[in-house]
Amino acid sequence: MKKILVTGGAGFIGSHVVRLFVNKYADCHIVNLDVLTYAGNLENLKDVEGKSNYSFVKGDITDEIFIDQLFEKESFDAVIHLAAESHVDRSIMDPLSFVKTNVLGTAVLLNAARKYWKETSNKLFYHVSTDEVYGSLGESGFFTETTPYDPHSPYSASKASSDHLVKAYYDTYGLPVVISNCSNNYGSHQFPEKLLPLMINNIVHSKPLPVYGKGDNVRDWLWVEDHARAIDVILHQGKLGETYNIGGFNEWKNLDIVHLLCRIMDKKLNRAAGESAKLITFVKDRPGHDKRYAIDATKLNKELGWKPSLQFEEGLDRTIDWYLANGEWIDSVTSGAYKEYYSNQYVSR
């Protein structure tokens, strides 16, 4: 592959994917396409900005004319499609924007690939999705690649719709595709509307730590750099038409993870033990809040040899250290109205 388009490359997961590919594949040109919403920030990629095999294009994936022109001009060998609205609470407040970006945007990209990839033997459309399309688990069991879809929020429904479109283009047009569905990501450069960076930032500033309901919702946590490695493996070794689940094998109740954060932060900030935990505040639960997510990544491990590189506690420690060392980054991405809103909100994806 000589040229790869990464959509949403200025976002949290996308920036880690772009960084990995730019640094690892010097002979491959990485084109980062991002519309730069609140969650997309070119500050995330300052370290690769001047590299000869990297370029940035600002644009909207729902703009059919623009996307067609881009595909015609650049002759991409592969697309890694990460661009999406991904905030559950936002989808509840404004579902149509999620349908537009996640469903229509994916369709526009698929259609451009179908039109401009006349020879598809060395092409690949890689669609990155979420475990939320599967719905909610009970106390036991795991999501596998054959778990029926059962989305419960406008966000997860829009991602489920986009997954189905990708599969339809494979079946109908023979477009070469792969799909991956991942669990909750954590790590550096994540916009603080999400659980870990929000809680870290609020602990630093001694602000309330609002937790939905009883805090007993369970999530499987995946270090974002391990996710980027998985995407690399699937892009180069995945079987066409297949879906691969990516999980961290790390299940935590939301309240337990907040308590763990508080204990670690008290030590790092030289506070008395238990001081940060006093900030925990229980708030009204979110509508349709899924009880438990847990990914079975056995297929990815057995067929392609991927497994997480870090235990959760080590990844969490690295994550906390990054946010503590990059307070200016947090201040810049949460400036203006977002700063006031997100400092008092809790969202667990």
Instruction: List active site positions.
Output: 131-132, 155
Type of residue numbered 187: G
User: Rounded to the nearest 5°, which phi and psi values hold at 12?
Assistant: -60, -65
Which residues are registered as beta bridge partners of 78? Answer: 4, 124
DSSP letters of 153-219? SHHHHHHHHHHHHHHHHHHHH---EEEEEE-EEESTT--TTSHHHHHHHHHHTT--EEEETTS--EE
Single-letter amino acid, residue 143: F
Torsion of CA 221, 216, 83, 55, to 10 degrees: -40
Q: Where are the alpha helices (DSSP H) in 174-253?
A: 195-204, 224-237
